Amino acid sequence: MDWGLQNRLSRIFRPSDARTVMLAVDHGYFLGPTHRLEEPRKTIEPLLPYADAIMLTRGVLRNCVDATSDVPIVLRVSGGATIVSEDLANETITTSVRDAVRLNASAVAASVFIGSAYEHQTLAALGGLISRALDHGIPVLAVTAVGKELEKRDARYLSLCCRVVAELGAHFVKTYHCEHFDRVVGSCPVPIVVAGGPKLDSELDALRLAYRAVQEGAAGVDFGRNVWQSDHAVPMLRAIRAVVHENATPERAHELFLDLTRVPQRQPV
Ligand code: R5P
């Protein structure tokens, strides 16, 4: 692997355990001002010290994150449809690799919609993106199975999605957890990070999801709403770190979460 590409990946995946806790805050690109992400800077800033990487668009990066921040950036570069459009799957590449280089992105991310009317369009766009990103040593994260496609959340469908994007050259994949998730991991030759999805009933449920995902082979998580829609977002992100980086059980991590909600949060030095 080229040195630059490997170096960028090692900024996202902690070299000591090859795992990552990514923070997804890119929802506005199709959802608009999502609940608790209405003012991105307010949501993002306190969480930055505890994220191994953040996933967001160039608009939010330029306007809501200080350029002095050293958090690795996974730049969403696909879009073009919204929650009110006819088909959420009708995405294209909206941000150039050149701009990703300008923004010092550690990786770029694009969605594919396998099984939808836009399967060919989004897969072809991903292939082209990977070729252009490789010219600059930038890794590509392929995001599979969102929107309507998420209804097909089973190991057979997700294995197909993850394998196809890995075959196209994606360096890592973001998908959902499912029953028999180990089969999805086993047939995908690149690391998988797991999305959280809509906010679950409790923090413990979200910690259980993270735990199952990493114990079944995920290389980490890329959670959004289950972090910043919590009333205690920083303790929640720190508890997820314990699950991912320290193999803490969900119960142990939940104790940590509760402890952290009782003490005022201090920024690390
Ligand atoms: C979906 O395509 C978006 O990119 C989000 O980043 C993704 O859904 C992960 O966020 P959440 O954990 O809120 O589902």
**DSSP character for 200?**
P
Fold classification of 3-198 (topology level): TIM Barrel (3.20.20)
> Ligand 1 center to residue 225 CA distance, Å?
8
> Ligand 1 center to residue 66 CA distance, Å?
22
Structural domain boundaries in the chain: 3-198
The verdict on pTM exceeding 0.85 is: yes
Q: Is 157 in the pocket of ligand 1 (CB under 6 A)?
A: no
User: How far is the C-alpha of 182 from the C-alpha of 209, rounded, in Å?
Assistant: 14
Q: Is 224 in the pocket of ligand 1 (CB under 6 A)?
A: yes
Q: Is 191 in the pocket of ligand 1 (CB under 6 A)?
A: no
Q: What is the mean pLDDT of residues 90-114?
A: 97
Q: What is the mean pLDDT of residues 183-210?
A: 97
**All residues at 6 or more sequence positions from 161 whose CB lies less than 8 Å from its CB, including other chains:** 112, 114, 144, 145, 173, 175
Amino acid 269: pLDDT: 47
Strands 192-195 vs 107-112: parallel, antiparallel or unpaired: unpaired
* Max CA distance (Å), the chain: 51
What is the band of 1 on the pLDDT scale with cuts at 50, 70, 90? Answer: confident
